[in-house]
Chains A and B, each alone.
Chain A
Amino acid sequence: GAVVSQHPSWVICKSGTSVKIECRSLDFQATTMFWYRQFPKQSLMLMATSNEGSKATYEQGVEKDKFLINHASLTLSTLTVTSAHPEDSSFYICSAWDSPEAFFGQGTRLTVV
């Protein structure tokens, strides 16, 4: 099956700094990628849909200025958490669309201290 790679697997950053998470489709081109957030012991919450060459579509309640998404190529989408705060600590998972289904990355554990 298709492979999606997320980097880094875990990151610790200081409050107020920004951190970038990368999501790559390794063996296919993905015009559409997705970013999810998962709180402890909870399900995945879709944050935004990332479309190559255009602006991301954010779900209701997700701050687009805090969670910057860039999908500059057919194999790479990035999520930048700006001015991170401890409440942004979470597990972030990306997926990439390869019709007729999506394939998921291994996730990134973000801890803001």
Chain B
Amino acid sequence: AQSVAQPEDQVNVAEGNPLTVKCTYSVSGNPYLFWYVQYPNRGLQFLLKYITGDNLVKGSYGFEAEFNKSQTSFHLKKPSALVSDSALYFCAVKTASGTYKYIFGTGTRLKVLA
């Protein structure tokens, strides 16, 4: 069965420190991977995606993620966290072919402490 796991419900990090939000996936075929951020009572904002090409993907607001096929991971990173990065982050995956469906992780709440 296809699935996405975000093992941490919450990640706390001090402002200015690097942050990592973890995501692992299990799909058949080549995955398309996405990260979204959600602020309270708002929809999903796209951060970045991996479809093909370089394993290191750079996205919006200084975020980046590395696709690791052998570990089936797509961890979200940022070198220096801002208080304004505090939000709910979702990892999502779809297979490259077939269904249009996205499978979302359970979300990780990032709290950046001043």
Q: Which A residues are within 8 Å of any B CB, using their own CB?
A: 1, 6, 10, 32, 34, 41-44, 46, 49, 91, 93, 95, 97, 100-107, 109
Contacting pair B43 A106 (CB below 8 A): yes
Given contacts A42-B106, A43-B104, contact A101 B34 (CB under 8 A): yes
Contacting pair B43 A34 (CB below 8 A): no
> What is the CB-to-nearest-CB distance from B80 to chain A, in angstroms, rounded to a whole number?
25
Contacting pair B100 A104 (CB below 8 A): no
Contacting pair B32 A101 (CB below 8 A): yes
Cα–Cα distance between A32 and B94 once the two chains are bound (Å): 15
Contact of B44 among A41, A49, A93, A100 (CB under 8 A): A93
Cα–Cα distance between A100 and B102 once the two chains are bound (Å): 12
Cα–Cα distance between A107 and B104 once the two chains are bound (Å): 16
Given contacts A42-B106, A43-B104, contact A107 B41 (CB under 8 A): yes
> What is the CB-to-nearest-CB distance from B92 to chain A, in angstroms, rounded to a whole number?
8
Q: Which residues of B contact A34 (CB under 8 A)?
A: 100-102
Tell me how many residue pairs across A and B have CB atoms closer than 8 Å.
50
Contacting pair A104 B36 (CB below 8 A): yes
- B: contact size bracket: 20 to 34
- A interface majority secondary structure: strand
Contacting pair B42 A107 (CB below 8 A): yes
Chain B residue at minimum C-beta to C-beta distance from A32: B100
Contact of A109 among B41, B51, B107 (CB under 8 A): B41
Contacting pair B44 A43 (CB below 8 A): no
Given contacts A43-B106, A100-B32, A100-B51, contact A93 B100 (CB under 8 A): no
Contacting pair B46 A1 (CB below 8 A): yes
